[in-house]
């Protein structure tokens, strides 16, 4: 299969203008580096979420966090009720 001269020129021009072929100190290169950083950060966050919900240590972490939050709510209500009761008893 032969490619015409015009088609070869268009391919060559497209190859140069493509952001992946930009020189190292260009704006396109900097943007490409930022995109790679964001993509790798998203991948690591997704990996952390998958580990949290699918592994035994992740599920135990969720259970521990839920238990601690429940315990905090329980003690907050307990201490609030005790303070209100002592204030009522002191007022009588």
Per-residue pLDDT tens for 10-28?
Answer: 555 555 555 555 555 677 7
Contact 52, 58 (CB under 8 A): yes
The pTM assigned to this predicted structure is 0.52
Contact 47, 56 (CB under 8 A): no
Write down the pLDDT at residue 91: 76
Which residues are within 8 A (CB) of 22 and not within 5 positions of it... i.e. 6 or more apart? 28, 29, 32
Ranges in the chain, pLDDT < 70: 1-25, 92
Write down the pLDDT at residue 49: 86
């Amino acid at each position: 299969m032969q490619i015409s001269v015009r088609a070869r020129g268009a391919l060559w021009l497209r190859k140069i203008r493509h952001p992946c072929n930009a020189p190292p100190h260009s704006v396109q290169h900097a943007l490409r580096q930022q995109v790679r950083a964001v993509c790798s950060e998203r991948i690591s966050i997704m990996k952390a979420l998958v580990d949290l919900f699918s592994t035994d240590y992740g599920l135990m972490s969720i259970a521990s966090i839920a238990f601690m939050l429940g315990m905090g709510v329980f003690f907050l209500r307990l201490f609030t009720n005790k303070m209100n009761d002592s204030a009522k008893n002191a007022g009588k």
